[in-house]
A and B are shown apart, each in its own frame.
Chain A
C-alpha cells in the first residue's frame, strides 16, 4: 500500500454493491493534505455512495479507504471525530436557532464549557454568521444555511471536510463567498472533498475526479487532465468561433468532414477540428450560408470538454467486470 504520509485520503479498489447493482466500481484515488478535491459526475453515478463509504456510513463491499491513515472499515467511529460533513440537503435543525445548532453539535462532539464557547465563537466568526446567531435556522437563506452547515462541520477542528453539493441552488454572491471560505480553510491545512455540478467550481479545485456509471473515469489536476491525449486526439485541435447566427452556424459546421465535434458555448462555438481544417475552410463554409465569422482562435479544452470526451469514450466501449 502506497499510503504516502502526506495523503489525507487514500482510496484503493473501493467497491459497493447493492444486490446485483454495483453502485461504486473499483474506485481508487489519493488526495493530499490541504487539497481541494472536486468530485464530479451525473446524478446517480455513485458520488454520494463514495462519500458515505468514506464517512463510515456505509460499508464498502471490497476495497479500502484510509482517512488520516485510519481504515474506515476497521474504525468508522474514530474517523467521525476527524471529519466534518455537510450534506446535499440542508440537514441541521430548522427549529433551532443558529446558535443552538452550533452548540448542539459542539456538545455532540464532546466539547464542554469554555472550550465549547471558544469554538462556537471561532466558527461563527469564521463563516461570518454572527449577525444571525439568534435566528431560527429554517429562516435563513440557502447561502447562510450552507455557511451554518460548514460552521457546524468545523466545530471539532476536523482534518477533512466533505461537502456534498454545497453550492446547489444558492445565489452567485453566496457561492463566491462560500468558495472564499473554502480557500481559507484549505490554506489553513484542511482537506476539502467537494462535489459539484458547476464546471467553474471544478476549475478552482486543486484536483478533480469524474465518476460515471459507477466508475472513476479520470482523476488528477485540471491542468494535467486538459493535456490528456484522449481529450484532444492526435491530429486535432480545439477552436473557438465567434460569429453571428451561431445556431445556424453550428448546424453547418457539424456537417463538415474533419470536424469531430461542435458545441455551442453562449454565443460562441467550440470545435474539435482536424489539423488540416484551416481557418479559411471554416470561414468559407460559413460564408456559403451567409454567415460572417468575427473571430476564430485556438483554445485549450475546458474541464467540461475533458469530461465530455472521456464520457463518450467510456460509453462507446462498455466494459463489464
Chain B
C-alpha cells in the first residue's frame, strides 16, 4: 500500500480551497491587528497614574513634595480636593487611583525638625499600578529625607549603577512584539488546521474520502503542507511589520530564526490535527482551540514573566511549546543569541514535534465509525 497515495491531489485541492476561502484574507489582517493592539495599545510601563492631592498645609514644603511626586511622571496630578473623603470618593469612582494627603502641620513639623507624615492612598485593584505607586512614593519620601538630613550633596556610601543591556530604553513593545510572532503563528496554525479537517468531517467529505484509497498520512500531510507554507509567509510578514512599525531590529541570525520557526510549526500544526480528531464540529474545535490558546498567551512568558508564577503553574508552562519558541524569538531578535545558547529550547521543540505528530497520526482514524 502506497503510504503517500493522493498526497499531491490533497495539496492541490487544499490550495484551491484556501485561495477561494473568503476567510483567507484574515490570515494577514489578524496578525496586523494583533500587532497594533499588542504593540501600541498595551503599554505595560506604568506611568501617568491619575492622582488627586489634598494639601491641608499649603506651605512651601508641601508644594515641594507634590511637585516632586509629579516630576517622577508616575503620578499625574489631576486635581486638588478638600478632604480625605473626597479622595476616597474619587478612588471609588475610578477617576483617581492615588490620593496624596498632606496634613496641616507638615511644613511646621519639618521646620521644627520633627518627623512629618505624608499619607498616600492607593487603589489596589490593579496590582501593578498599586505596586508602582507604592514604590515611587516611597522613593520620593526617601529622597526628601536624605535632602533634609543634609547628605544629598555628599557621596553616598554605596552607589548602585544600573546599565540596561538590550532594549536600553525599556520600551515594552520591543519585548512583546518579537514574542507576538510566536503567538500569531500558534493561533493561525492551530485554528486553521483544526478547522481544515473538522470542516471535512462536518460537511461529510471526510466520509467520502474514507471510501477512497487515499492514505491517512497523505491526507494529513497534504493538509499540513499548505498551512505550514501560510504559517511561514505569516512569520515573515510579522517580522517585517515588527521591523517597519516598531523599528525592532533582529540582532541575531535571521536564517536560524526561520529554521527554528519551521521546527515550531510542526508541534503547532500537529496540535491542530489532534484537536480535529477529537472535535466533531467547528464550534467544538473553536472551544478546544481556545483551551490551548489561553495558556499559550498567558503562561508562555509572552504576557507575564514565568518566574513569578506559582510553582505548579510554572511547571505547567514547560508543557507549552510556544514557551520555548517565545524564548527563541526573544533570544535571537533582542539579544542576538545563537544556537549555542538556544539548544535546550530547540531540543524541547523537537521533542514536542515528535510526540505530537505521532499522537495526532495515531488518533486520526480513517475509519469514521
B-binding residues in A (CB < 8 A) = 52, 55-59, 77, 80-81, 83, 85, 87, 89-96, 100, 104-105, 107-110
Partner of A91, one of B6, B12, B21, B203: B203
B205 and A104 form a contact (CB under 8 A):
no
Q: Does B161 contact A (CB under 8 A)?
A: no
CB interface residues, B 354-369, toward A, < 8 Å: 367-369
List of B residues within 8 angstroms of A56 by Cβ: 211
Instruction: Give the distance in Å from the alpha carbon of A93 to the alpha carbon of B203 in the complex.
Output: 8
Contacts A85-B208, A85-B211, A108-B6 known; 10 new A-B pairs at CB < 8 A: A56-B211, A57-B369, A59-B367, A80-B212, A87-B207, A93-B205, A95-B17, A107-B12, A108-B5, A110-B5
Partner of A58, one of B12, B203, B205, B369: B369
Please classify the interface of chain A as helix (H, G, I), strand (E, B), loop, or mixed, using the class held by over half of its residues. Answer: loop
Q: Does B8 contact A (CB under 8 A)?
A: yes
B213 and A109 form a contact (CB under 8 A):
yes
Partner of A92, one of B205, B214, B367: B205
Q: Which residue of A lies closest to B17 (CB)?
A: A95
Instruction: Give the distance in Å from the alpha carbon of A93 to the alpha carbon of B204 in the complex.
Output: 9
B204 and A104 form a contact (CB under 8 A):
no
A92 and B208 form a contact (CB under 8 A):
yes
A96 and B210 form a contact (CB under 8 A):
no
- Can you list, as one digit per residue, whether each of B1-40 has a CB less than 8 Å from chain A (1) or not (0)? 1000110111011001100110000000000000000000
B212 and A109 form a contact (CB under 8 A):
yes
B6 and A55 form a contact (CB under 8 A):
no
B208 and A91 form a contact (CB under 8 A):
yes
B208 and A80 form a contact (CB under 8 A):
no
A158 to chain B, nearest CB (A): 10
B367 and A58 form a contact (CB under 8 A):
yes
A252 to chain B, nearest CB (A): 49
Instruction: Give the distance in Å from the alpha carbon of A100 to the alpha carbon of B5 in the complex.
Output: 18
Contact A94/B1 with A56-B211, A104-B12 known, Cβ cut-off 8 Å: no
Q: Which residue of A lies closest to B212 (CB)?
A: A108
A100 and B211 form a contact (CB under 8 A):
no
**29 A–B pairs (Cβ distance < 8 Å), ordered by A:** A55-B210, A56-B211, A57-B210, A57-B369, A58-B367, A59-B369, A80-B211, A80-B213, A81-B213, A85-B208, A87-B204, A90-B204, A91-B208, A92-B205, A93-B13, A93-B17, A95-B20, A96-B17, A100-B16, A104-B13, A107-B8, A107-B9, A108-B6, A108-B10, A108-B212, A108-B214, A109-B212, A109-B213, A110-B213
